Structure 1
Amino acid sequence: MTHGAASRVISLPMEDGAQVEAMFAADPKAHFDLHWHAEWSVGAILEGRCEFTCAGERQGAEAGDMVVMAPGMLHTAGVSAQGFRMVMLYVQQAWVAEQLGWPEARRGVLHRTVRRDEAAAHALAAAARAEDGAALGRLLARVLRAQTGNELVAVERQMSDARVEAVCRALATEDACHIDPGVLALRLGVSREHFHRLFRVAVGMTPAHYARLARIGRAKVLLREGQAAAEVAAQCGFTDQAHFSRWFRRCFGVTPGNYMAVRGRVENAA
């Protein structure tokens, strides 16, 4: 869970009209639950040490390190005893693909999640603090070009079992927010227990956990589109707005209301 109110998010226009979101986190007790982003995540550790998991592997990043995660990579984030301060940028795959010359549904293979680059970390932090979206766009393109190779892979996660892949696709769609994974198991013609085992082996978590993360991810998209938090909570299967707000903050560091305020600020400035 993320404690305190030290995390904040801003959204900035880049030179070509695309948007980049920047999250500033400095909470000494910060911890983000397992989640993923539909966007590329590019961050700079400014102070202390951030300990996290990404794609099932334990990672550590210290001041002067850059952190890069591709869309859909499951991760957590936490802290060492000394805490940390960081800025994390979120940028759409479509923009990255255009900048780097990829097909929109493909991406370069990520070389590594953590890379030492003090100059880039300081430049990225300075541009984010100055709310200079144009400079952030140039830095993002440079960092992502350096961190990815010529080999291309699908942006969407590829499951080894087509049945599990079909379930993941269903859980990520707008009209599947209320689907019980047990009902999906029946649709695929397997028992609930067998489906549960298949899913856990392929995805690394239970169907119920994945469904909650899919709902949270869908909720972020709906908020970005301008829908009210209460409506989003109901559409995405949360018992009430408070329940939705708690889970959103645990994954993304801010409340849905704060996230919507960021979107409103951008629209008013346009």
Structure 2
Amino acid sequence: MASHVIGLPMDGGAQVEAMFSADPKARFELHWHAEWSVGAILEGRCEFTCGGERQVAQTGDLVVMAPFALHTAGVSPQGFRMVMLYVPHAWVAARFGWPEDRRGVLHRGVWQDRAKADALGDAALSQDGEQVGRLLEQILRAQSGRELMAVERRMGDARVEAVCNALELEDACRIDPGALAQRLGVSREHFHRLFRMAVGMTPAHYARLARIGRAKVLLREGRAQADVAAQCGFTDQAHFSRWFRRCFGVTPGNYMAERQRVTRAA
């Protein structure tokens, strides 16, 4: 299997998701994760953007992205292997003594540490949750500053933030820009400029990403795939499955199967 996700039980009842990818054709659309993303490039090269900045990670590099960081990714056409772990912020905050709505500012997002990258890959592959936890704490502690900031991005405009909250429940295919502009009390053209300045993307794109993220949470809760697709505003299951895989590397069905396996094992 080119990409697959497994769950790793951690201390304190937390669970980290580990995605293994060896697909040289893998491309990930613009998306975010509510968790910390901590990865190791085990072979090959990965080019990606995070927060609008282009980054390159190669064999032996570690990669860290904060919760809700917007990013894309594409890998080298040659041999490629990586592991990416999605770490609940509550688990990180508890270890570092942060309030749950705050996090440390990252020093670096990509750096070379072949020994630690290999160790992280080996621990994840062997499903050694205890060792994975130790390595994650070391990696995040090394790159997190004392200065704290909000976990979620602040829009800077309460009106835009209210629209963003509403878009999480709406179908991007049915968005009426005029109606959204009316909610803000501005013209359609001004609304689009205001939204793009505050959020960095169009309202339709934001809505799709917000619904994909919400769908992942519902799948974790054990909801049926068809129900999740309908509740999150996708045209049908095929439409939902395509976008889920473009963002998270696996189909909703494979994601649910692994979650169920981990639940039974626990």
Provide TM-score, normalisation by structure 2.
0.95
Distance 1:56 1:178 in 2: 25
Q: Does 1:204 align with 2:197?
A: no
Residue matched to 1:248? 244
Residue matched to 1:91? 87
User: For 1:19-63, what per-residue CA distance to the aligned partner results, in whole angstroms no more than 9, with x for missing partners?
Assistant: 010000010111111100000000000001000000000000001
1:204 CA drift (Å)? 1.7
Of 221, 227, 237, which residue of structure 2 is paired with 1:225? Answer: 221
Alignment of 1:1-270 (within 5 A): 5-172=1-168, 176-178=169-171, 180=175, 182=177, 183-270=179-266
Give aligned pairs, total: 263
1:203 CA drift (Å)? 1.7
Gaps of 5+ in 1: none
* 1:82 aligned counterpart, secondary structure: coil
Distance 1:218 1:83 in 2: 33
154-163 or 71-80, which moves further after superposition?
154-163
Distance 1:157 1:224 in 2: 24
Distance 1:105 1:171 in 2: 22
Distance 1:54 1:83 in 2: 23
Distance 1:123 1:80 in 2: 22
* 1:227 aligned counterpart, secondary structure: coil
1:160 CA drift (Å)? 2.9
Distance 2:198 2:138 in 1: 34
**C-alpha distance 160-42 of structure 1, shift in aligned 2 (>3 A):** same
User: For 1:152-174, what per-residue CA distance to the aligned partner results, in whole angstroms no more than 9, with x for missing partners?
Assistant: 000010123332222223334xx
**C-alpha distance 199-79 of structure 1, shift in aligned 2 (>3 A):** same
* 2:216 aligned counterpart, secondary structure: helix
Q: Which amino acid aligns with 1:250?
A: R
39-48 or 197-206, which moves further after superposition?
197-206
* 1:12 aligned counterpart, secondary structure: strand
Q: Is the 8 A contact 1:42 1:68 kept in 2?
A: yes
Distance 2:39 2:68 in 1: 16
Q: Give the root-mean-square deviation of aligned CA atoms.
A: 1.3
User: For 1:149-205, what per-residue CA distance to the aligned partner results, in whole angstroms no more than 9, with x for missing partners?
Assistant: 000000010123332222223334xxx234736333212211222111111122221
Q: Is the 8 A contact 2:38 2:63 kept in 1?
A: yes
1:83 CA drift (Å)? 4.7
Q: Is the 8 A contact 2:171 2:208 kept in 1?
A: no
Distance 1:264 1:187 in 2: 41
* 2:69 aligned counterpart, secondary structure: coil
